[in-house]
Amino acid sequence: MDIQKLGYDSINLGHGSGGLMTRDLLDNMIFNTFSNPFLNQKHDGSIVKFNNPIAISTDSFVVSPIFFKGGNIGELAVNGTVNDVAMCGAIPKYLSLAFIIEEGLKINEFRDILNSIKKAADTSQVQIITGDTKVVERGKGDKIFINTTGFGEVHPKANISTDNIKVGDKIILNGQIAQHGMAIMSQRQGLEFESDIISDTTNLNFLIKDLLDRFGKDIHFFRDPTRGGLSSVLSEIATDINNGILIFENKLPIEKQVAAACEILGLDPLYVANEGVFLTIVEASIADEVVDLMRKDDKGKNAVCIGEITKDHSGKVVMNSHIGGKRIVSPLMGEQLPRIC
């Protein structure tokens, strides 16, 4: 796509009018980028065929800054939804893509976002089959908001549900926590750490597929602990299953600089947002094999068993602390407020 040809360098209200300018933007930027048989029909929607039950997940992406170390809002919008579909035990196939753009967004930036979306979609092997673009007045948005909805076919061997989780099951993480949240936060606040913290946003669907291919129903649950961090997801699960969760602080995988940054800021990494991280709850007997399989994949090279489901302390997450003693891990309530007197 050639910006010179467009004759403007930022998005304006006219691009949302539905008239010629809209057409121009769509043709020259969006359809150009994502060209595929579904989109090329330029219809109001697309007709697709599935052979198995389908998993559908939708998510809206609002992030500031829209470009951050390790990625931008575009690939986040693809990976986030692809991963959510995968967490249902499904193989993501199609995405819808909707933009709400604030007047004034630079065409350059928009182009970079579109390219990232394209690249991320290709990497996860999903096709963008329908979309929408709206423009809002300056001040009524924050550069760009993106909504994606993902559609995937449920893996034939999958049976993912909290109902399957039982006492003794092991909890396994594929990778290091708190990286994405700390990357965004440090950039938003302009905090400079010794080395840069880089978002780990990535697609997890192939690793999920490999796990299901190999272990099928012995995999009881998947979940990606994005907003609210690991603590919130674990607390939710503990409440849902009416059993307890025990995790081990010294097992939690965390990159050194991320840990240092959390320490400096007084933040508990359990409450920091993640991308590119998922947890799986599996039959105890296969836990080691699951870890082994994950570690062979780049996206699971830091895989580790962090804990288990317990009969005790039903509804609560408890962490064996490395200084001795056990700590209660409660879900995030708003921001992390000081409690120590």
Partner 1 sequence: MLKTYKILISGQVQGVGFRPYVFGLANSYNLTGTVSNNEEGVIVYATGNTSNIFSFYNDLIENPPKVSKIQTHTISETEIKEFLDFQIIPSQKEGKLNLQLTPDFAICDDCKQEISDSDNRRFQYPFTTCVNCGPRWAITKTFPFERAHTNMLDFNMCGTCQEEYSNISNRRFHSQTNSCPNCGIQIHLTDAEGVSLNIPKASIFKEVAALIKKGHSIAIKNTGGYLLCCDASNKEAIKTLRLKKNRPNKPLAILYPSLNLLKDHFEITGYQERALTSSESPIVIIPKGNYKGYLMVDDLAPNLNQIGVMLPYSGILQLLANELERPIVATSGNVHGSPIIASAEVAKTELNRIADYFLHHNLEIAHSQDDSVIKFSPEFDHKVIFRRSRGLAPNFFGSVISDETILAMGSHLKSTIAFLPNDYLYISQYLGNLDNFEVYNRFTETVSKFIDLFEQNPTVILTDAHPSYHSSQYGKEFAKNKRIKQYDIQHHKAHFASVLGEHNLFESDAPILGVVWDGTGYGDDGQIWGGEFFRYQLNKMERIAHFEYFDWLAADKMSKEPRLSLFSLADEEIEGHCSKQFSKEEWKVYKTLKKKNTLKTSSVGRLFDAVASLLNICHNNTYEGEAAILLENYVTDYSIENCKLYCSALEHSQIPTKTLLMNLYEDFKRGASKSDVIVNFIYTLANLVFQVADLQNLNHIALSGGVFQNTMLIDMLKNIAKNDYTLYFNCNLSPNDENISHGQMMYYLNIKQS
Give the dihedral of Cα atoms 21, 23, 25, 27; nearest 10 deg.
-150
Q: Give phi and psi for 169, each to the nearest 5.
A: -55, 150
Pick one of 193, 216, 302, 314: the residue that binds partner 1 (CB under 8 A). Answer: 193
d(C-alpha 69, C-alpha 91), whole Å: 28
CB nearer Mg ion, residue 84 or residue 218: 84
Alpha helices in the chain (DSSP H): 3-6, 20-25, 32-34, 37-40, 73-87, 107-124, 179-189, 205-215, 229-241, 256-265, 287-295
For residue 267, state whether it binds partner 1 (rule: CB under 8 A): yes
Residue 190, interface with partner 1 (CB under 8 A)? yes
With CB under 5 to 8 Å by kind, the binding choice for 324 among partner 1, Mg ion, none is partner 1
Stretch that binds Mg ion, among 56-64, 156-164, 278-286, 323-331 (CB under 5 A): 56-64
Contact letters (x/-) for partner 1, 7-46, by CB under 8 A? Answer: ----------------------------------------
For residues 320 and 306, give the distance between their C-alpha atoms in angstroms, rounded to a whole number.
Answer: 11
Strands 67-68 and 304-310: unpaired
Taking the complex as a whole, the smallest distance from the CB of residue 1 to Mg ion amounts, in Å, to 30
For residue 86, the partner it binds in Mg ion, partner 1, none, with Cβ less than 5 to 8 A by kind, is: none
Alpha carbon distance 230, 267 (integer Å) = 13
Q: How far is the CB of 82 from Mg ion (least distance, A)?
A: 11
Closest distance to partner 1 from the beta carbon of 267 (Å) = 6
Q: Does 236 bind Mg ion (CB under 5 A)?
A: no
Query: Nearer to Mg ion by C-beta: 59 or 142?
Result: 59
At 40, the amino acid letter reads: N
- Decide if 114 contacts 33 (C-beta within 8 A): yes
* 334 in contact with partner 1 (CB under 8 A): yes
First to last CA, the chain: 59
Question: Which are the contacts of 18, defined by CB distance < 8 A and separation ≥ 6?
Answer: none
Q: Which of residues 74-103 bind Mg ion (CB under 5 A)?
A: 84
Q: Should residue 275 be labelled a site residue for Mg ion when binding is judged by CB under 5 A?
A: no
Q: Is 192 in the site for partner 1 (CB under 8 A)?
A: yes
Residues in contact with partner 1 by the rule CB under 8 A: 189-194, 260-261, 263-268, 313, 318, 323-328, 330, 333-341
